[in-house]
Amino acid sequence: MSSPSEDEFAAGALEFLQANAHPKVEITSGWGEGSDRVNLLVEKTKDEERAEVEAAKGWRRKVFDAGFGWITGPAEYGGRGLSSGHERRYQSLEAGFDVPSQSPFGIGLGMVAPTILAHATPKVRAAYLRALWRGDIVACQLFSEPGAGSDLAGLQTRAERDGDEWVINGQKVWTSGAQYSDIGEIICRTDPDAPKHKGLTGFVVDMHASGVEVRPLRQITGGSSFNEVFFTDVRVPDDHRLGDVNNGWAVALTTLMNERASIGGGGSGPSLVSTARLMELLRHMGRDHDPIARQRLADVYINAKVSSYTSQRALDRLKAGEPPGPEMSIAKLALTMNMRRVAELVSLVLGPKLIADGGEWGTYAWSELVVGMPGMRIAGGTDEIMRNIVGERVLGLPKEPGLSK
């Protein structure tokens, strides 16, 4: 059967969306109207979180069953095998409709699924890819550890071979969505005597398996969307291994590059706060004619524009079928630097009103964004690691000298 043209595909997608969702209605409000919350991570109660996951799954299944769930994926694993152009057309159309948030699938589809497709056994691909893209299961990423954050190769969680299984013991931390995930991608140390980059192996682990314990971490923002995860004698079949034994670093790099693509090209940071909203804040606080505040606002706008062009260039590479490149590290670094600019501008303009809730609309509410911002400097690789990657791999500068022992 021949593939539909992009126009034929778009016509079918629009018909599906019109039959199953309502068009978005643009709601405009002025200063002092509606909610004044400004945040990076929307903190939810357990009930709100559960409802969001179920709504996301329901919509994902409906979309997948209609043929729009994994547009570019291989047909053998549930995809339609169409071009990135078809996918862009669908995403553009869906953006005009009010549909449930798909954020619970961000990590699973943006990072874990591409790694499974690239490195897993045919059995694991068949077992999980269709289920992930249909929304039947959710996946998380199990990389960071208390003693090995951005230095991923320093991780100490062990996986020891026992016949046709591996036994995992150790701890992971800062795991987003672990509390509602069904599977996880985990990198473990399988050869403690090998150089630290050489003795790692990746696996797909059942998050409901005996010995897996998820504990929520309370954040400074008041929520607990991150977790620490403990593994005690957790058994994983060898056919759930990702790639070759002790070649887990290559597996991790696949995930990390997709992670930086997701974060660097996402909608966080300055794009979350419009220039108009910031200008309204300056007017409300009587700082709209202050040359320093105005210069800071211009700086935010200019840098956000420049970083958006870099992100678009990187995303165009992905859409053309090319692997994520080093520009994703630039985009991720630019994102956090721009978020810092926003936080500094807000702090300058609000002063004490940022840290003392006097009940005034649009003032103390900014504190949630400001205290959430430092976490984004860590997610997906710290700013310091990103600078090293850009310096060494993009600019060709000498490698950062290591610490002498």
pLDDT value at residue 266 = 47
Of 257, 283, 288, the C-alpha closest to 30 is 283
pLDDT value at residue 332 = 79
* CA–CA separation, 172 and 230 (whole Å): 6
Q: What phi, psi does 176 have (nearest 5°)?
A: -75, 135
Predicted TM-score of the model (pTM): 0.85
> How far is the CA of 106 from the CAs of 78, 171, 226, 280, 346, in angstroms?
19, 23, 14, 32, 29
pLDDT value at residue 59 = 98
> How far is the CA of 12 from the CAs of 4, 100, 139, 286, in angstroms?
10, 20, 30, 51
* CA–CA separation, 404 and 5 (whole Å): 60
pLDDT value at residue 319 = 66
Which residues of the chain, if any, have pLDDT below 70?
Answer: 1, 28-29, 149-150, 260-272, 318-319, 321, 323-328, 380, 402-405
- The whole-chain average pLDDT of the chain stands at 89
Torsion of CA 73, 77, 80, 84, to 10 degrees: 0
Contacts for 363 with CB less than 8 Å, ≥ 6 apart: 350, 353, 354
Q: Checking DSSP bridges between strand 22-23 and strand 97-98, what pairing results, if any?
A: antiparallel
- Residue 159 β-bridge partners: 168
| Cα R_g (the chain), whole angstroms | 22
pLDDT value at residue 114 = 95
The DSSP secondary structure of 236-253, one letter per residue, reads EEGGGEESSTT-HHHHHH
* 3-class secondary-structure state, position 122: helix
* CA–CA separation, 405 and 401 (whole Å): 12
Active site residues: 259
User: 373-387 burial, b for 16+ CB within 10 Å, e for fewer?
Assistant: bebbbebbbbbebbe
pLDDT value at residue 62 = 98
Tokens of 331: 């985009």
User: 314-344 burial, b for 16+ CB within 10 Å, e for fewer?
Assistant: bbebbeeeeebbbbbbbbbbbbbbbbbbbbe
* CA–CA separation, 108 and 62 (whole Å): 18
Domains located in the chain, CATH noted: 6-101 (no CATH), 140-251 (2.40.110.10), 265-394 (1.20.140.10)
**CB-based burial label for 403 (10 Å; 0-12, 13-18, 19+):** exposed
Tokens of 43: 């903190």
Tokens of 348: 């300058």
Contacts for 322 with CB less than 8 Å, ≥ 6 apart: none
The residue assigned the tokens 């991150």 is 226
Query: Residues 163, 170: contact at Cβ < 8 Å?
Result: no
Tokens of 255: 């995930």
Query: Residues 261, 314: contact at Cβ < 8 Å?
Result: yes
* CA–CA separation, 369 and 224 (whole Å): 15
pLDDT, tens digit (0-9, with 9 covering 90-100), for 104-135:
999 999 999 999 999 999 999 999 999 999 99
